[in-house]
């Protein structure tokens, strides 16, 4: 008696209609690094805009009210996530001063929960 061969499916698999969802933080960071707008954060224009936001908000976190003298612990946070929208990215009205703990904790959780 002959061996049975595996039958090939008659219908090809369809591409996923679900958006890309990274499995963990490392994969998320790798994905984010490939986005063209990530380069904007390393420009002189961004550094100048960030400084203007920190001065305007008097080096005070707009979330928890903490006054921070160490500017490396402050972030110019986008109130509304820009997701590559150049107008939103460079708008000073869309930026606020946030301390790193608020930005990396509360704000990031809010963005992920809202689906942005």
**Structural domain total, the chain:** 1
Which of the four pLDDT bands, split at 50, 70 and 90, describes residue 57?
A: very high
Residue 18 falls inside a structural domain:
no
Task: Label residue 4 by pLDDT band (50, 70, 90).
Answer: low
Rounded Cα–Cα distance for residues 73 and 20 (Å):
31
For residue 9, tell me if it sits in a domain.
no
Q: Which of 25-29, 57-61, 67-71, 81-85 shows the lowest mean pLDDT across its residues?
A: 25-29
> Is 74 among the domain residues?
yes
Residues 6+ apart with CB under 8 A from 31: 20, 22
Could you tell me the two tokens for 63? 């979330």
Whether residue 12 lies inside any domain: the answer is no
User: Does residue 76 fall inside a structural domain?
Assistant: yes
User: What does the block give as tokens for 110?
Assistant: 């809010």
Q: Judge whether 27 lies within some domain.
A: no
Domain that holds residue 74: 56-116
This model's pTM is above 0.75 = no
């Amino acid at each position: 008696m002959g061996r049975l061969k595996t039958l090939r499916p008659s219908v090809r698999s369809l591409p996923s209609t679900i958006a890309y969802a990274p499995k963990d933080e490392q994969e998320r960071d790798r994905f984010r690094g490939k986005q063209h707008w990530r380069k904007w954060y390393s420009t002189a224009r961004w550094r100048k805009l960030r400084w203007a936001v920190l001065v305007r908000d008097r080096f005070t976190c707009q979330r928890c009210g903490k006054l921070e003298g160490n500017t490396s612990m402050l972030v110019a946070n986008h109130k509304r996530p820009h997701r590559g929208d150049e107008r939103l990215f460079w708008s000073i009205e869309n930026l606020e001063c946030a301390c790193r703990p608020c930005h990396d904790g509360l704000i990031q959780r809010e963005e992920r929960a809202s689906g942005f």
